[in-house]
């Protein structure tokens, strides 16, 4: 299911693994949430990097933010809901509403700055899918 490094992060830090069905109840209990979408870490080895980085960053924000991991079977349906474009992804929610996403691995200071920015942002609708970016040549030509 997950790599040993991601499994260890879940176990050592007590991060819950959420499904599409359990997410609403979790966000009712926690105002600000960051969801870790790992995808298949064998295909996206950067997910292992985020598994090391996320707990360290959370030490700076744990009084304001709760982390959880998205179950593998719920990743694609929730990706469609939140419309982020890359893995690994950290998706931020406030009161269950989308705030933003950080995709790929960033350097430490970028993460700190982006986490601060996410905590200061108001919820917004997720971005529109750029179909041409996801499936080149699929979007209608822009006039």
pLDDT band at 1 (very low <50, low <70, confident <90, very high): confident
The CATH number linked to 8 is 3.40.30.10
Asked whether residue 88 is domain-assigned, the answer is: yes
Q: What's the confidence (pLDDT) of residue 30?
A: 97
Asked whether residue 125 is domain-assigned, the answer is: yes
Q: Where are the alpha helices (DSSP H) in the chain?
A: 4-13, 23-29, 46-61, 72-82, 108-120, 131-134
Total domains in the fold of the chain: 1
Average pLDDT over all residues of the chain: 91
Asked whether residue 121 is domain-assigned, the answer is: yes
Asked whether residue 25 is domain-assigned, the answer is: yes
Asked whether residue 26 is domain-assigned, the answer is: yes
Q: What pTM did the predictor assign?
A: 0.89
Structure tokens given for 9 = 């992060």
Q: What's the confidence (pLDDT) of residue 62?
A: 86
Containing structural domain, residue 85: 4-134
Closest CA to 115 of 14, 27, 32, 38: 32
Asked whether residue 141 is domain-assigned, the answer is: no
Q: What's the confidence (pLDDT) of residue 42?
A: 87
Residues paired with 66 in a beta bridge: 33
Asked whether residue 51 is domain-assigned, the answer is: yes
Structure tokens given for 50 = 């985020």
CA–CA dist 71, 9 (Å, integer)? 14
């Amino acid at each position: 299911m997950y790599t040993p490094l991601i499994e260890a992060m879940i176990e050592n830090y007590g991060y819950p693994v959420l499904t599409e069905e359990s997410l609403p109840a979790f966000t009712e209990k926690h105002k600000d949430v960051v969801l870790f979408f790992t995808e298949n870490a064998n295909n996206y080895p950067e997910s292992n990097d985020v598994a090391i980085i996320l707990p360290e960053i959370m030490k700076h924000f744990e009084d304001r933010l709760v982390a959880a991991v998205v179950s593998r079977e719920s990743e694609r349906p929730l990706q469609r809901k939140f419309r982020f474009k890359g893995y690994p992804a950290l998706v931020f929610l406030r009161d269950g509403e989308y705030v933003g996403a950080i995709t790929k691995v960033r350097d430490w200071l970028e993460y700190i700055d982006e986490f601060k920015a996410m905590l200061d942002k108001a919820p917004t609708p997720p971005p529109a899918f750029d179909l041409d970016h996801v499936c080149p040549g699929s979007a209608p030509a822009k006039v």
